[in-house]
A and B are shown apart, each in its own frame.
Chain A
Amino acid sequence: MRIFEFIFRRLLTAIFVLIGVSVITFFLSRVVPTDTAALYLGTKARPEDLERIRIKLGLDRPVPVQYAIYMGDLLHGDLGTSIATKRPVLQELTDRLPATLELLFVGMFIATLIGVPLGVVSARWQGTWADMFVRIISIVGVSMPAFYLGLLMQIAFFRNLEWFPLSGRVDADLRFTSPIDPITSFYLIDSFLTLNWVALKDVFLHLVLPAFTLAAYPIGLIARMNRAAMLEVLSQDYIRTARAYGIKQWIITYWYALKNAISPTLTVIGLTVAYALTGTFFVEVIFNWPGLGLFTVRSLLALDYPAIMGMTLLGASGYVIINLIVDLLQTAIDPRIRLK
């Protein structure tokens, strides 16, 4: 089957991409002047202990040899041990992945749900006050730095209005009143499955501010992209024909036109998912969201290179997979795009 051949070929190239990424990250992290053994043992370590740790971590060997050892371990699913937490990097990443994915999914959901209609409205009523309004929202969304927007949200909705909690995934008390049973570690799903309404509400309230902060940039981008694509489609002959047939305007706009305009928008959505993954770095730090972003920032500051390596490989894999999914979705929606 064509589609499986296509997927197979893409995955094969992905492997080379990942090898390239691993080489660059690995050697870059060794060029940075730092004493890993000192990081491992803490500030007041004795020189003789430092020497012992250097040998234990293999730091006394040439960098290419260290790389070969790392890649050998990687094939066995071993990403090494974090210098800062002294726990396996793989475990650190998988523990934190659900928190980030939950935030990412909800954020992208909001972005799509708001961004696409905004683009449609803006194109449909091009040049009116509605268009102007949407364009202002887009510009603000795209140009406002996430860390600044996050702080503004906290001041407005936590401090002044007291609508939403400040930070974290759940309230600290929740553990004692209605604890979440971590079935999937996606708290929305877990609390929903276990019919734990107190927890569901708490999880939801905690998600709102970070998810909207994360969604701001994609909303702007998606609205702009979709507006441009819609404008192009709406001027096509077949739209005029549809109008001539007397089909209702909203059906023309939301069904016939949007269907053709969504394809380029989808590419943008896919790419912004990858962008939003880096956006979580800021959002998670501000909202103290216990996900990959917070972990990555901490690892970067601590020069915890096994953790940085693991995170880079994970991010690169995510990027490759999202691109693949976008390509497949495009062919599903628009049969004119053929798999090559």
Chain B
Amino acid sequence: MNKKFFVLSLLLVMAFVANACGSTAAPAATEAPAATEAAAATEAPAAGPVVLKIAYSSTIDTWDPIASFSTEAAYLPNVYETLLKINKPGSAEKYTPVLAESWSVSEDKMSYTFNLRSGVKFHDGEPMNAAAVKASIDAVKDHGAAGFIWWSVDNVEVVDDLTVKFNLSTPQPIDLIASSMYAAYIVSPKALEAFAADENFWADGKSYGTGPYMVEFYTPDVEAVFTQNTEYWGGWEAGQYEKVVASLVPEATTRQQMLEGGDVDLAERITNENLDTFRNDPNYTVFEEPSFFNYVGIFNTLRAPLDDVKVRQALSYAIPYEDIIAIGAGGLGTQSYGPVPAGVYPWDDSVGQYTYDLEKAKALLTEAGHEGGGFSLKLTYTASNASEEAFAPLIKDSFAQIGVDVTIEALSLGEQLKLARSGADAQDMTLLLYWPAYADAAADNLWSLFYYTETPSWNLSYWNSAEYNTLWDEGSALSGTDFEASKEKYVEAVKLLVEEAPGVFFYDTKAVYVIPNTVDGFEYNLNYPFWHFDYYTLRAAK
């Protein structure tokens, strides 16, 4: 009985396979090349909506616009909007009003009043008003990962339905903060309530914003599908995409193949080594723009010999900056002027740079009483960062030439930070890729990386300079009242940083985009470094 059953079922399975192969394999083998092309050319536009297909590498860590503080910023700004948008550097106007139509600041700079756009509705139909703005900012201050950007806001006051007032504890540029890519989205109060009741509310991809696109569908690790918000206050015109399919493709070579094969219209992050193919192809335009990101190496100044400024300066002279940019970034980078990325406030080239000069390095070491080096350092970098992995050995080689021995260790970022925060047991040099939370590197980079605090968070150098802290405090105090004067203070602070060298400032990375001629309307805005593609501005080329 057993045997018969087995044979029977085997036969059934075979029959099914034979059937399946017979009906599908045969036509597929003969028709496939012609049929797929024909289908792409004729069927798709006629049968379906106008779809923009993009291959993304950015992961979606959360769909919660309040909690967001990671690479999901590639998608969220298409769904959620802020009060203001900060334009790219060099624009005539600094801001574009979005959900606020206009704004003003009080005489004493202690309050900002925003007049909201009327008639705007969230995706769930709720009206966008002063109460919604207050609820969003209160929520993000309460539990947003980047909620700290609102530290100077004492309270948000609903003046009337369309007027909202931010009362400050100390003057700060609230217009700049309100345009942040993190922690500044205005979200439907209904969603905030729902999240309060259910922690997993955002897990499946929802949209409760005011933006031009809504999340239609989300399959983790596969794709996110966005569809037009037909009620969008900005209106729609012909040529804009009705649907956007964001395929999540972690492999860079696969993304590139998809782009070249026409499987997608756009692709994020093509590896720098492969750019020449596109540079030489008239069907593509390659954009190389300044970015928000830079690489820094932080010295632990607690112990000898790195507690000696001369030693730190010597090591800064022993960094082969050009080689590092060539190896780490495929040449797509520029040597940093301090910890502020080029193009971001308060960048200024008057702060100076170190050159690669081994003779000077040796002389400085001798001056410091370390003739011929003779000490060893432990350097750590983030294991998942391919650039750091590539250029860390260059530092080792170069330091060896001045007699300094380097041990390199790759750690996860979390482990690297934990070790660096352990004080006297910490590594001597920590390589970091850093970027500011919003378009103000003074409020972030200068403070986070080098402002001395008793327990370190990101200020891993333990460098304690009262002069630097004072300069920063003065700059920060002025930032809400006199932007130019505050920049002067900050530039002075960075000059001190470069002089005292508690860290090495390697290079600012470049943002690279490969855009096929089939897509129009791509515009790069340095201030939203994760928002690679603004679906609303893109058009299918005629």
A residues neighboring B (CB under 8 Å): 33-39, 41-47, 49, 84-87, 92, 95-96, 109, 113, 151, 154, 158-159, 161-169, 172-173, 175-177, 188, 200-201, 204-205, 208, 285-286, 288, 290, 294-295, 298, 301, 303, 329, 331-333, 335
Which residues 52-76 of B have a CB within 8 angstroms of A?
Answer: 53, 59, 61-62, 69-70
Query: A43–B146 Cα gap in the complex (Å)?
Result: 11
B22 at the interface (CB under 8 A from A): no
Query: A294–B247 Cα gap in the complex (Å)?
Result: 14
Contact with A along B381-401 (1 / 0, CB 8 A): 000100000000000000000
State whether B148 touches A33 (Cβ < 8 A). no
9 other A-B residue contacts (CB within 8 Å) besides A162-B37, A331-B2: A44-B146, A166-B263, A167-B258, A285-B250, A288-B251, A290-B221, A303-B412, A332-B5, A333-B6
Q: Which residues of A contact B49 (CB under 8 A)?
A: 176
Chain B residue nearest in CB terms to A297: B250
Interface segment out of the listed B28-36, B154-162, B320-328, B526-534: B28-36
Interface centre among A158, A172, A332 (most CB of B within 10 A): A172
State whether A164 touches B32 (Cβ < 8 A). yes
State whether B146 touches A86 (Cβ < 8 A). no
B485 at the interface (CB under 8 A from A): no
Contact with A along B211-229 (1 / 0, CB 8 A): 0000001011111010000
Chain B residue nearest in CB terms to A163: B32
State whether A162 touches B33 (Cβ < 8 A). yes
Closest Cβ–Cβ distance, residue B526 to chain A (whole Å): 19
Q: Which residues of A contact B33 (CB under 8 A)?
A: 161-163
Query: A132–B100 Cα gap in the complex (Å)?
Result: 76
State whether A298 touches B221 (Cβ < 8 A). yes
Closest Cβ–Cβ distance, residue B180 to chain A (whole Å): 13
Chain A residue nearest in CB terms to B46: A177
Chain B residue nearest in CB terms to A208: B28
**Which one of B24, B70, B257 lies within 8 Å of A166 (CB-CB)?**
B257
Chain B residue nearest in CB terms to A45: B145
Q: Which residues of A contact B418 (CB under 8 A)?
A: 35, 38
Q: Which residues of B contact A38 (CB under 8 A)?
A: 413-414, 417-418
Q: Which residues of A contact B411 (CB under 8 A)?
A: 33
Once A173-B44, A290-B219, A301-B384 are accepted as A-B contacts, the answer to whether A159 and B251 lie under 8 Å apart by CB is: no
B residues neighboring A (CB under 8 Å): 2-3, 5-6, 17, 20, 24-25, 27-28, 32-33, 36-37, 43-44, 47-49, 51, 53, 59, 61-62, 69-70, 145-146, 148, 200, 203, 217, 219-223, 225, 243, 245, 247, 249-251, 253-254, 257-258, 260-261, 263-264, 384, 411-415, 417-418, 437, 455, 457-458
Name 17 A/B residue pairs within 8 A (Cβ), A-sorted. Answer: A39-B414, A42-B69, A85-B220, A163-B32, A166-B257, A166-B258, A169-B222, A175-B225, A175-B245, A176-B47, A176-B51, A176-B243, A208-B28, A286-B251, A290-B222, A295-B221, A335-B3
**Which one of B25, B53, B59, B62 lies within 8 Å of A172 (CB-CB)?**
B53
State whether A158 touches B261 (Cβ < 8 A). yes
Number of A-B contacts (CB under 8 A): 148
State whether A172 touches B70 (Cβ < 8 A). no
State whether A173 touches B51 (Cβ < 8 A). yes
Once A200-B24, A204-B24 are accepted as A-B contacts, the answer to whether A35 and B146 lie under 8 Å apart by CB is: no
Query: A166–B258 Cα gap in the complex (Å)?
Result: 7
Chain B residue nearest in CB terms to A37: B414
State whether B263 touches A47 (Cβ < 8 A). no
State whether A33 touches B51 (Cβ < 8 A). no
Query: A163–B457 Cα gap in the complex (Å)?
Result: 54
Closest Cβ–Cβ distance, residue B386 to chain A (whole Å): 13
| Main DSSP-derived SS at the B contact region | mixed
**Which one of B37, B219, B263, B437 lies within 8 Å of A44 (CB-CB)?**
B437
State whether B220 touches A95 (Cβ < 8 A). yes
Query: A290–B250 Cα gap in the complex (Å)?
Result: 11
State whether B251 touches A87 (Cβ < 8 A). no
State whether A205 touches B28 (Cβ < 8 A). yes
State whether A172 touches B245 (Cβ < 8 A). yes
State whether A173 touches B48 (Cβ < 8 A). yes
Closest Cβ–Cβ distance, residue A215 to chain B (whole Å): 14
State whether B145 touches A42 (Cβ < 8 A). yes
Closest Cβ–Cβ distance, residue A202 to chain B (whole Å): 9
**Which one of A47, A176, A301 lies within 8 Å of B457 (CB-CB)?**
A47
Q: Which residues of A contact B25 (CB under 8 A)?
A: 204
**Which one of B219, B250, B257, B437 lies within 8 Å of A159 (CB-CB)?**
B257
State whether B146 touches A167 (Cβ < 8 A). no
Query: A301–B384 Cα gap in the complex (Å)?
Result: 8
Query: A262–B27 Cα gap in the complex (Å)?
Result: 33
Closest Cβ–Cβ distance, residue B14 to chain A (whole Å): 9
Q: Which residues of A contact B413 (CB under 8 A)?
A: 38, 43
Query: A154–B251 Cα gap in the complex (Å)?
Result: 14
Interface centre among A39, A167, A333 (most CB of B within 10 A): A167
State whether B415 touches A177 (Cβ < 8 A). no
Query: A49–B69 Cα gap in the complex (Å)?
Result: 13
Q: Which residues of B contact A163 (CB under 8 A)?
A: 32-33
Q: Which residues of A contact B457 (CB under 8 A)?
A: 46-47
Query: A39–B6 Cα gap in the complex (Å)?
Result: 50
| 7 nearest CB pairs, A to B | A38-B414, A35-B414, A176-B48, A290-B222, A172-B245, A332-B6, A42-B70
